[in-house]
């Protein structure tokens, strides 16, 4: 059973895509969802750094 938002990277990639499309509101929404996914793996730690970078770019 896989629930939406299960993978931090997938949720981050949605945020990044919205940002690249110029939809800042949706990008910030998905960034918040990505941040809510717990960090459990090394990849999650890397994605968390990408989330912070994108959040700063959208501020």
Based on the number of CB atoms within 10 Å of its own CB, is 31 exposed (0-12), middle (13-18) or buried (19 or more)?
A: buried
| pLDDT average, residue stretch 9-14 | 94
Instruction: Identify the residue with better confidence: 5 or 45.
Output: 45
- Interval 13-34: pLDDT, tens: 999 999 999 999 999 999 999 9
Sign of CA dihedral 22, 36, 56, 43: negative
Higher pLDDT, 6 or 22: 22
Check residue 5 and give its pLDDT. Answer: 54
State the pLDDT at residue 1: 46
Q: What is the pTM of this model?
A: 0.85
């Amino acid at each position: 059973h896989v629930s939406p938002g299960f993978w931090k990277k997938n949720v981050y990639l949605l945020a990044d895509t919205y940002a690249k499309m110029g939809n800042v509101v949706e990008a910030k929404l998905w960034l918040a969802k990505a941040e809510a996914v717990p960090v459990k793996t090394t990849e999650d730690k890397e994605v968390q750094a990408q989330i912070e970078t994108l959040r700063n770019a959208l501020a």
